[in-house]
């Protein structure tokens, strides 16, 4: 049986009441992929006419399911679609066995649902380097198909958890000239979080009617400002996948130019991304890093990630130590343009340093009081240009070591 982790102190009060998305149904089951008695497989079934888009990790060691999804994602089809996900085993770094396991799972779902294999998308998350016991999953496929229910998304969110301490969900409704559309999404992620092109595992659904090319444009664009701007530990997963399905059940057509819809979708993406950070392994602080005044947006992002990924910065935050010198260090090492004598640093609304020196008005007790808060903002202005970026991270505590030191046991 898997160890039970204490729920993150930064967790939401409860899983949200997600709306039913017409045209998609969910089911979950306990297949014993790694742990007995734990719900660990979920199936989502989308009606014919649905479009699917996605983004994926750019890791050079990405898993067999990721590679399979990448091969399929760019094709149009009037068929329905299915997404099957297992937790407990990532099916990554498993050689030919990984390919064969992926094919076996996809084939079983295709047979049970009547879909072509090209419309079955799979994901796996968990331990790397161990063969996936795919027969445990395929043995549950008929049960999953028989249990499909439009209200089953909460169970699906729990089935995809690994070291997560709470299931993650977010939603939005949007009133458009053609009528109301709904968005609902679930995610998993807690450690090995530093997305590169994609996310952890994220599945978002809407009842809007959206052409695949428009859906892909939305997903790629919004992902860059949400999931690709979070980091827990600087480690990019082999399995990062974001899939989004648009069923069209509402009858309302949406394009990439519909700003009301894209704004709502971005809010859902950001909500889920922030929940992943709030569930960072061992996290006790939610940290926003804002960088302004950089030579370019790209430089700002480089500086922000350097700060957010610094073990010294993250442990200072865990210890509630306003050690601004570590922020200076992280800016200096990032490789992006910086001028020591133009640097300004704030912790929340506390001005800590300006013009390359500690502010004469700064009081250590003010910085320490700010660091005791559960949510902290670090703001750095480079004084060089108009570039800006925001990323989100968490602190680094002994809990992270405890969780990961015995992850496979």
Which residues are designated catalytic?
199
Judge contact between 108 and 134, C-beta under 8 A.
Answer: no
Closest CA to 319 of 369, 282, 372: 372
> Could you tell me which residues are beta bridge partners of residue 188?
201
Q: How many CB atoms lie within 10 A of CB 173?
A: 11
Positive or negative, the CA dihedral 228, 199, 20, 114 is positive
Question: Using CA atoms, how far apart are residues 101 and 369, in angstroms rounded to an integer?
Answer: 53
Q: In this structure, what is the dihedral angle of CA atoms 354, 357, 363, 367, given to the nearest 10 degrees?
A: 70
Element (H, E) at 83: strand 81-89
- Residue the block writes with tokens 């500086």: 303
Question: Using CA atoms, how far apart are residues 116 and 120, in angstroms rounded to an integer?
Answer: 7
- Residue the block writes with tokens 């860059």: 224
Q: State the Cα angle at 203 between 198 and 208, rounded to 5°.
A: 110
Buried b (16+ CB within 10 A) or exposed e, 108-119: bbbebbebeeeb
């Amino acid at each position: 049986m898997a160890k039970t982790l204490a729920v993150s102190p930064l967790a939401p009060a409860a899983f949200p009441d997600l709306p039913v998305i017409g045209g998609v149904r969910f089911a979950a089951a306990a297949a014993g992929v790694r742990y007995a008695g734990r719900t660990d497989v979920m199936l989502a079934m989308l009606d014919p006419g649905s479009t699917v888009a996605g983004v994926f990790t750019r890791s050079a060691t990405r898993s067999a399911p990721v590679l399979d999804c990448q091969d399929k994602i760019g094709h149009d089809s009037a068929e329905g679609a299915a997404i099957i996900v297992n937790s407990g085993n990532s099916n990554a770094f498993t050689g030919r066995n990984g390919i064969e396991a992926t094919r076996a799972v996809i084939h079983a779902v295709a047979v049970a649902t009547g879909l072509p294999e090209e419309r079955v998308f799979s994901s796996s998350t968990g331990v790397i380097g161990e063969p996936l016991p795919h027969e445990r999953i395929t043995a549950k496929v008929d049960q999953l198909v028989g249990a499909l229910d439009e209200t089953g998304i909460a169970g699906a969110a729990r089935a995809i958890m690994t070291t997560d301490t709470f299931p993650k969900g977010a939603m939005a409704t949007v009133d458009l000239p053609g009528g109301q559309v709904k968005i609902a999404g679930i995610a998993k992620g807690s450690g090995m979080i530093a997305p590169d092109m994609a996310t952890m595992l994220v599945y978002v659904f809407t009842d809007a009617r959206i052409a695949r090319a428009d859906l892909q444009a939305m997903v790629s664009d919004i992902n860059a400002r949400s999931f690709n701007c979070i980091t827990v530990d600087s480690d990019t997963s082999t399995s990062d996948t974001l899939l989004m399905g648009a069923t069209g059940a509402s009858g309302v057509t949406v394009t990439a130019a519909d700003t009301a819809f894209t704004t709502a979708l971005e809010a859902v993406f950001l909500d889920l991304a922030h929940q992943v950070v709030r569930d960072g392994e061992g996290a006790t602080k939610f940290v926003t890093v804002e960088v302004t005044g950089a030579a370019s947006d790209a430089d700002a992002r480089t500086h922000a990630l350097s700060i957010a990924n610094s073990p010294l910065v993250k442990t200072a935050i865990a210890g509630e130590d306003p050690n601004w010198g570590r922020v200076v260090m992280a800016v200096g090492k990032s490789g992006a343009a910086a001028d020591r004598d133009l640097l300004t640093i704030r912790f929340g609304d506390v001005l800590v340093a300006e013009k390359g020196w500690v502010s004469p008005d700064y009081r250590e007790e003010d910085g320490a009081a700010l660091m005791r808060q559960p949510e902290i903002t670090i703001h750095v202005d480079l004084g060089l240009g108009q570039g800006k970026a925001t990323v989100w991270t968490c602190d680094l505590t002994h809990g992270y070591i405890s969780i990961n030191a015995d992850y496979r046991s």
